Amino acid sequence: MLQKGKPLDNELEKILELAWQTRQANFSNNIEFVTPGRTLSVSVTGEKCALNCAHCSGIYLRNMATLGKALQSKNDDEKSYLVSGGSDGQGKVPLLENFAELKELAGRGPLNLHAGLVTEDEARLLAEIASVVSFDFVGDDETIFAVYGLPVKVEDYLDSYRYLQKHVRVVPHLCIGLNGGKIKGEYEALHLLKQEKVEAISMIIFRPTADTAFSKCSPPPPEEAAYFIATARLLFPHTPIYLGCMRPGGRYREVIDPYALRAGVNKLVLPAPTARRQAARMGLTVNLSEECCSL
């Protein structure tokens, strides 16, 4: 199985064909295109994050609503909430410190919580307010330290995933190329998850972001990302697979999105025009949705 390096054209074509056949055998002919404008993104920490991660540096928190503003909002277009925030020095998002406010928000619409690392007691409490938990799953110790600077191991991520899975619906998120654009541990993450209960998998792809430690890095080649998605489809033939909103834009998205369809994804967030044309060529029936793909 390819683990690194750009695949040869014939290797990629072969695995894409196998992945597409697997999807056809186990799913309907529908593809869901997601424009998540009716899910409000909320940060419980505002712009603050203790980790200053190499790929983010808290920059993506800047465009999120604060919890206070979300509770004050009267926007009828909001149907659900993606709740995240900066992590503390142990890799935890302080959701439970805002439990009462989040419970109030859950009364307005479903919550998708980005929890970070959790204990079983924390997972049990989060299950009281979450419709789903999105969990960033990492399969390589070196990547954990290089990206997050955390003194934890893959086993800690696996423990947190298991705790969450016992009490609430959880969707593992795999970032292709998380370690500065290099695929390092993502295949191991798939094999670890293969031993667990998995209801769905959301793929995202590293994109260089200005003013971060990884700003000068390049995303993984789209062919390499496509090979990984196709591998996931073969390993998880009955599991819904999504390609989420966090991925490079522009020309990159025009290339990866059609590949993702051929690799057998079930949902594609903010699809490029090339993906829409590819769906028509493949005879897929397009369904549209307007909330976060994990909900």
DSSP count for the chain of H helices, then E strands = 10, 11
Contacts of 107 (CB under 8 A, 6+ apart): none
Q: 293: closest CA among 272, 275, 271, 268?
A: 268
Does residue 274 form part of some domain?
Answer: yes
Contacts of 69 (CB under 8 A, 6+ apart): none
Residue range 261-279: mean pLDDT, rounded: 98
Distances from the Cα of 119 to the Cα of 40, 43, 130, 137, 155, angstroms: 27, 21, 16, 15, 13
Strand ranges in 58-108 using DSSP code E only, listed in sequence order: 65-66, 80-84
Q: What pLDDT sits at residue 103?
A: 97
Residue range 143-157: mean pLDDT, rounded: 94
Count of beta carbons in the 10 Å neighbourhood of residue 83: 29
Distances from the Cα of 20 to the Cα of 23, 230, 271, 291, angstroms: 5, 8, 18, 26
Count of beta carbons in the 10 Å neighbourhood of residue 201: 24
Does residue 295 form part of some domain?
Answer: no
- What is the domain count for the chain? 1
Query: In this model, does residue 244 exceed pLDDT 50?
Result: yes
Mean of pLDDT over the chain: 94
At 6, is the pLDDT very low, low, confident or very high (cuts 50, 70, 90)?
low
* CA dihedral sign, ordered 87, 128, 138, 83: negative
CATH number of the domain at 220, please. Answer: 3.20.20.70
At 2, is the pLDDT very low, low, confident or very high (cuts 50, 70, 90)?
very low
Each residue's pLDDT tens digit, 44-63: 999 888 777 878 878 888 99
Q: Tell me the one-letter amino acid at 122.
A: E
C-alpha span between 3 and 41 (Å, rounded): 34
Per the model's pLDDT, the better-predicted residue between 18 and 55 turns out to be: 18
C-alpha span between 289 and 273 (Å, rounded): 17
Does residue 35 form part of some domain?
Answer: yes
Each residue's pLDDT tens digit, 165-192: 999 999 999 999 999 999 999 999 999 9
Distances from the Cα of 211 to the Cα of 56, 60, 91, 219, angstroms: 9, 11, 21, 16
Q: What percent of the chain has pLDDT over 70?
A: 98
Q: What pLDDT sits at residue 7?
A: 75
Each residue's pLDDT tens digit, 251-268: 999 999 999 999 999 999
Contacts of 265 (CB under 8 A, 6+ apart): 31, 203, 229, 233, 241, 242, 243
Query: In this model, does residue 289 exceed pLDDT 60?
Result: yes
Does residue 4 form part of some domain?
Answer: no
Q: What pLDDT sits at residue 54?
A: 75
Weakest mean pLDDT among 9-18, 51-60, 103-112: 51-60
- Say if residue 105 is exposed, middle or buried (CB neighbours under 10 Å; 0-12, 13-18, 19+): buried
Segment 99-107 long-range contacts (CB within 8 Å, at least 24 positions apart): 99/125, 99/129, 101/67, 101/68, 101/71, 102/44, 102/67, 102/129, 103/128, 103/129, 104/71, 105/42, 105/67, 105/70, 105/71, 105/81, 106/130, 106/131
Does residue 294 form part of some domain?
Answer: no
Contacts of 129 (CB under 8 A, 6+ apart): 99, 102, 103, 106, 111, 113
Three-state DSSP state, 287: strand
Q: What pLDDT sits at residue 1?
A: 42
Residue range 142-147: mean pLDDT, rounded: 93
Does residue 75 form part of some domain?
Answer: yes
Per the model's pLDDT, the better-predicted residue between 150 and 268 turns out to be: 268
Contact assessment for residue 170 and residue 201, using Cβ atoms and an 8 Å cutoff: no
Query: In this model, does residue 274 exceed pLDDT 70?
Result: yes
Give residue 19's domain range: 9-289
Does residue 2 form part of some domain?
Answer: no
